[in-house]
Structure 1
Amino acid sequence: LFVSLFINSVFSCFVTTIPLVLEKPSFGLASQQDAVYYTGLLFGCGAVVGSFTLAFLFNPIQNSVGLIKTVYIGTFISFLGHVHMSFQTTLFGMSIGFCIFMIGIQLTRPANIAHLTNIVPTEFTARAIAMPTIASSIAGL
């Protein structure tokens, strides 16, 4: 279960960010390549922190406060991270907010463990099918 959750976390973060990188959102930087680089950096940091949380922090927190309170704590932390990220104007500030957000998201993941075998393959399949369509529409093909 630990390995499958870790792989799910990394794969989900990676696949979700592909459309954002292809879309080349601008942070008011000099060129589109800079925007792509910094977008990848932003979401890459979040993915690493989220995976670390799932791998090393989830069990100690769950053992000390219980599963239900862990999900509540994760919901609160993800809310704080989202608020922090929303009010930032610098890339560094957004990175910090997104990392906090990902910590909270990984702590709420146990809420879906009961449905993991049903949700995960469907989620992966939907994203895999959508990727060529998203990429071609962004590229204007």
Structure 2
Amino acid sequence: MRSPFADFERALLCFDSDGDGKISASELCHCMRIAGGEMSRAEAEAFVLSVDSDGDGLLDVDEFMTLVEGGGEEEEEREMRQAFVMYEMEGEGCITPRSLKRMLSRLGTPRDIEACEVMISRFDENGDGVLSFEEFRKMMAL
């Protein structure tokens, strides 16, 4: 039976240009360029640090798997909070029908206040007429 790590190990070996069994930030940059992407040295170092569980500044196969599987929960949390702030806009710590209407208009899908109220009510678990961050997170998970 083939190891569940086999594909990740093969991918890691392709990226591991110096043959040490680990990926450095510079090797990660190089791989991104080959794949047609762009990643600065600072971005690569931040990625490596975000999943480097043993603190050696390199990615072993387990850490590489974490990176490939999504880069960690911290990055996902940060991106979700950034999206929430875009919709929140009023500084109230929640998404109101008015702030939702404004953001949807900016995105080219205008809705009236009543439609925004209905959209919010579908995910408003506590019935306060607005979306908290946790309610927004659940909505975005669908």
TM value normalised by structure 1? 0.28
Greater relative contact order: 1 or 2 (C-alpha under 8 angstroms, separation 6 or more)? 1
- Greater C-alpha radius of gyration: 2
* Structure with greater helix percent: 1
